[in-house]
Chain A
Amino acid sequence: MVVTRGFRGRSRQGSATRSRVPPGQYVTSDFPVLTAGPTQRTPLENWSLSIELGDRMLATWSWREFVMLPQSEVTTDIHCVTKWSKLDTRWRGVNFEDLLRAAGLRVAPAAFVMAHCDGGYTTNLPVADLVAGKAMVATHFDGLPLPPSHGGPARLLVPHLYFWKSAKWIRRIVFREHDGQGFWESLGYHIYGDPWREQRYDGDP
Chain B
Amino acid sequence: MAKTIAFEVPDWRGHLAGQHIDLRLTAEDGYVAQRSFSLASPAGEDTIIETTVQRVDEGEVSPFLVDELRIGDQLELRGPIGGYFAWSPFGPGPLMLIGGGSGVVPLMSMLRTRCNARDDRPALLLYSSRSVEQILYRTELERLATTPGAPTIIHTLTRSAPPGWTGEQGRIDEAMLLRRGIAASHKPEIFVCGPTPFVEAVADHLLRLGHAEASIRTERFGPTGETA
Contacts and interface: CB of A to CB of B under 8 A. Distances in A.
B203 A120 contact: no
A35 B221 CA distance: 10
A38 B207 contact: yes
Interface string B88-114: 000000000000000000000000000
A132 interface: no
Given A24-B34, A39-B204, A30 B223 contact: yes
A4 B218 contact: no
Interface in A25-61: 26, 29-39
Given A7-B27, A188-B82, A37 B226 contact: no
Contact of A38 (B27, B73, B196, B204): B204
Given A30-B224, A37-B214, A5 B60 contact: no
Contacts of A149: 196, 200, 224
Interface in B38-77: 60, 64, 68-70, 73-76
Interface stretch (A9-17, A68-76, A107-115): A9-17
A187 interface: yes
Nearest to A142: B228
A2 B74 contact: yes
Interface residues of B, number: 46
A82 B216 CA distance: 21
Nearest to A39: B200
Contacts of A66: none
Interface residues on A, range: 35 or more
Contacts of A7: 25-27, 33, 64, 68
Contacts of B218: 35-38
Contacts of A1: 26, 30
Given A38-B213, A188-B82, A30 B36 contact: no
A141 interface: yes
A26 B28 contact: no
Contacts of A201: 78, 81
Nearest to A186: B83
A187 B83 contact: yes
A3 B84 contact: no
A83 interface: yes
A23 B32 contact: yes
Contacts of A26: 33, 60
A205 interface: no
B155 interface: no
Interface string A168-188: 000000000000000110011
Contacts of A8: 27-28
Interface of A: 1-12, 23-24, 26, 29-39, 82-83, 119-120, 141-142, 149, 183-184, 187-188, 201
6 contacts: A5-B73, A7-B26, A8-B27, A24-B32, A30-B226, A141-B228
Given A9-B31, A26-B33, A38-B216, 5 more contacts: A29-B227, A33-B200, A36-B85, A39-B200, A183-B84
